[in-house]
Structure 1
Amino acid sequence: MNHPAQQASTATRPGGRRPRVAVLVYNDCHADTRVLKSAATLAHAGADVRIFAVARPAAGYPVGVQRLDSGVVLERLPLFELARALEPAARVYRVLAGRGAPAAVGVTEDPLRDATGGPADRQAAQVGPPARPAAPASLRTPTLADRVLRSRVAKVLLKPLGAVILHSYWRHARKAVTRWGPDIVHANDGNTLQPAMALGRTLGVPYVYDSHELWTQRNVAGPRPLATVVERRIETRGIRRADAVVTVSPSIARYLQDTYGLAETPTLVRNVPPAAQATSDPADGRLRALAGLAPHHKVIAYGGRITTNRGLEETIAALAALDDDVHLVVLGYGAPAYLAALEAHATGLGVRDRMHLVGKVPSAEVSAALADADASVVFVRPTCLSYLWSLPNKLFESIHGGLPVVAADLPDTRRIVEEHGVGEVFSSDDPQEMARTIARVVAHPERYRAAARLAAGELTWEREAERLLDVYRSALGPAWHGALDPLLDREDAA
């Protein structure tokens, strides 16, 4: 894709200026490891990087700008807020009804619960200065806006709200990025392609599309025929106009090329841990301490988000078929309702005392925390093409933890497990086969541990990052020749 405006302005650029990379992401970015690692890589190589993310004040991520330890600047942008929009209508209604001024409006739901991948956060923010300290949400008299937001009708009427909120991010992102004046834009996932295209056109700069998953074939709740059509049209235009495309697995790369008729296969940049985390010693592990288990217990680890379609129900069923000294330790975050359902499932199968929910640790500490397990379960239920062709973070985190891997038989996962000899795979729909596979692996884990230690030295973010930097060197063009240093050379020099 040619950018005459960019080429024409080359001579007026200040000498020695670092290339500016604007990174678009539709979440608060506090725990988006791929976005944070990519941004840090570009900054380390010599770019000025600014992430334009989403503010979630009630979750502790307000509107504003902060500089991260990596040198990357993170700017969180405001979004459309439904309660604020409803307040004027509520005020008019009360005046017309002769009820006087309304009380402060309580915001009851996080409108980004689907976009960020996290559960709904209950909030108690207020609009306008209250006359006295607000009562707890459970005791406060609901306002009109509260009742509207909580009504059953709202579940139908507010379905378009997600599109309104997303559009507000696009609008704020275009304005903020334009003010900053980037030399290239990085669009993370299909929900940032629209502003990336607009910025590329109006500013005359290239953009990179980073497909973290198979966007139009991802797992979504309920039927959404209109949204599916719109998303497909945006991705069709956006991916074909992009100066470069990167993605997370070989199968997704092939699908994108075949589906959209791309001249080149998207560049593979897998989401693996950095070399600093390779490999953890079992003595560094924390699972046994967190779960209160003794050295003689066999520990099967699950690390990652605790939610549906992660095979936890099947893993608990497999646990019931294993010896009584085998325990499942689950490391990660999950919604309370889902955790309760897992506990009930384990109770029903008679293994509640052998399933341990131990909470989460920072992403940089996951591999080390897992290290004293006897094996790690890597299970994504293939309910959509994006899941079928995924390369889960937990696969690489387990390898960096030096653990034998017991993985569901999905194409890209199988390729890693077999190529590096780090474990065995099982049929994703058969808990009994899963139990037999776990038993074989934990009975003789030594060769798998040795293979994992070797693989961890090869499967590092630094190696993946070199491909990302090559993409940027090509997309930026000759005007920025030599602007981005090789990352591995810097590491070797250090």
Structure 2
Amino acid sequence: MRRDGPAGHIAFFGHNAKDAAVRRRAVAMQRAGFEVTGFMPRRGPAAEAPFALVDLGETEDNAYARRIGSVFSGARRALAQRDLLARADLFYARNLDMLAMALLLRRRGGFDVPVVYECLDVHHKLTGDGPAARLLRGIEGRLTAASDLLVVSSPRFEEEHFRRHYPGRYRHLLVENRLIAGDAYGPRPEAFPTPEPGKLRLGWFGNLRCRRSLELMKRLARAYPDRLEIVLRGYPALSVIPDLDGEIAPFANIAWHGRYRAPEDLARIYGEVDAVWAGDWYEAGHNSLWLLPNRIYEGGYFGVPALAPDGTQTARWLSDHGCGLLVPEPVEERLVEAVGALLADPAPLHARRAALAALPQEVFVEPPEMMRTMAAMARAARSGHQG
């Protein structure tokens, strides 16, 4: 294997070259000293990337049949850049279809490199007991066993999915969705504004894909029309919320401000709210219970506590760090009560802000050493496989 630079050269197989999380991971690799070349399809028109990029063509969200075909067509395009692939000493694949492509390329090209599988979400098609789910898990199990390292963004993905279905067939590393060291998001705040008495500003940021969460925001807006301001930022999943403007139009105290830039806008948008909503039932019962959303790290860095449904991995994380407010079922009633209690007495919110401020920066920010640890583990696992 050939190494370029102090850390090495990573061929990064991402599901969408324009995805912010994909770009954030590539930047984290670069900050750790790696050269990164992306081999990626994209959603929509081509756009510049902050890393060298081999464009594998256009694909679509949720077009699973086409994405299976794109594994083979993408592999052909990638092999046309054989010299670039040959320079890599690690293949890093994000999502299952990209893992299939990376393993296919390693076999067809004869490349002696470790392959890392990063699982950010466990798709609902992989859960359940039906024949389709069992078939897909059979595929994932074989691909996971053929890879050298599994990276998960939440411990519950490993506990509830991989350990249950593929025990003993993988080695794993937890890499949470933290901010990336060196990004221009500014220093952590040393003091916090005092909310206007009897007022509260609640944010719901990121991928606005949860119908139940939107209904909760509307319920809160009705309950406290003059005392609660709800701020939405990000992009709605059109398959779930096709007309966000129309849905919030009747509520003077709900405002949607569209997309934002991360990390550039984070200090401003979190500085404008007192708390953030961190619930998600997009894939209720499985992925939504297990995930750890970006907003707990982003908000936590800026001293903004999160509210989350009890019983989730998000709630466990907040409880372990003593920095959030947990809402038990029935959430529709208890969240209204919790917000009402904070409007009457914001002391619990202040206490959580103090707890966030006392936590070390590494809780919210991924150090460069994490990507170097990932690479070292993958190389060691590959050596073990060959031995």
2:305 is aligned with 1:366:
no
What do residues 92-124 of structure 1 show as CA deviations (whole Å, max 9, x unaligned)? xxxxxxxxxxxxxxxxxxx51326xxxxxxxxx
SS at 1:49's partner residue? strand
On the 8 A contact 1:217/1:386 being kept in 2, the answer is no
Tell me the distance in 2 between the aligned counterparts of 1:422 and 1:164: 45
Letter in 2 for 1:316: K
1:436 aligned partner: 337
- Alignment check: 8 A CA contact 1:170 1:192 kept: no
Shift of 1:397: 1.6
Report Cα offsets for 1:315-363 as digits up to 9, x if no partner: 221332236211111111226796674455556xxx6111111112102
The residue aligned with 2:301 is 400
* TM superposition shift of 1:241: 1.7
SS at match of 1:352: coil
1:116-131 maps to which residues of 2 (within 5 A)?
none
Aligned to 2:57: 78
- Give the equivalent residue in structure 1 for 2:46: 61
Q: Which has the higher strand share?
A: 2
Q: Distance in 2 between matches of 1:478 and 1:258?
A: 21
Q: 1:449 Cα deviation (Å)?
A: 1.2
Q: Over residues 17-48 of structure 1, what are the superposed CA-to-partner deviations in whole Å (9 max), with x where a residue is unaligned? A: 86221000121x23332x33332233233322
Q: Deviation of residue 210 (structure 1)? A: 0.7
Query: Are 1:46 and 2:33 an aligned pair?
Result: yes
Whether 1:208 aligns to 2:193 is no
* Whole-angstrom distance in 2 between the partners of 1:337 and 1:295: 39
Contact 1:313–1:345 (CA under 8 A) maintained in structure 2 = no
Question: Does residue 36 in structure 1 map to residue 23 in structure 2?
Answer: yes
Deviation of residue 163 (structure 1)? 3.3
2:158 — aligned with what? Answer: 253
Q: Structure 1's 176 and 314: CA in aligned 2 closer, same or farther, altered over 3 A?
A: farther
Is 2:3–2:89's contact at 8 Å kept on the other side of the alignment? no
Aligned residue in 1 for 2:254: 355
Mapped partners of 2:354, 2:170: distance in 1: 37
Identity of aligned residues (%): 21
- Distance between the aligned counterparts of 1:417 and 1:318, measured in 2? 22
Aligned counterpart, 1:112: 60
Query: Partner letter of residue 188 of structure 2?
Result: T
- Note if contact 1:417-1:423 (Cα within 8 Å) is conserved in structure 2: yes
- Secondary structure of 1:312 counterpart: helix
Contact 2:309 2:331 in 1 (8 A): no
Count of residues paired in the alignment: 370
Task: Give the CA deviation at 1:233.
Answer: 2.8
Deviation at 1:300, TM superposition (A): 0.9
Output the amino acid matched with 1:209: Y
Aligned to 1:467: 370
State the distance in 1 between where 2:381 and 2:144 align. Answer: 23
> How far apart, in 1, do the equivalents of 2:251 and 2:242 lie?
11
1:52 aligns to what SS in structure 2? strand
What 5-or-longer segments of structure 2 have no aligned partner? none
Aligned-partner Cα distance in 1 for 2:252–2:27: 42
Report what 1:380 is aligned to. 280
Q: Which residue of 2 aligns with 1:188?
A: 94
Kindly state the Cα deviation for residue 216 of structure 1 after the two structures are TM-superposed.
5.9
SS at match of 2:207: coil
Alpha-carbon spacing, 1:166–1:187, altered in 2? closer, same or farther (3 Å)? same
Aligned to 2:354: 450
Q: Which amino acid aligns with 1:61?
A: A
**Cα RMSD (Å):** 3.5
SS in 2 for 1:203: coil
Deviation at 1:251, TM superposition (A): 1.0
TM-score under structure 2 normalisation? 0.82
CA distance in 1, matches of 2:207, 2:37: 27
Gaps of 5+ in 1: 1-5, 7-12, 80-110, 116-158, 289-293, 481-494
Instruction: Go from structure 1 to structure 2 and tell me whether the alpha carbon gap of 1:362 and 1:234 turns closer, same or farther (over 3 Å shift).
Output: same
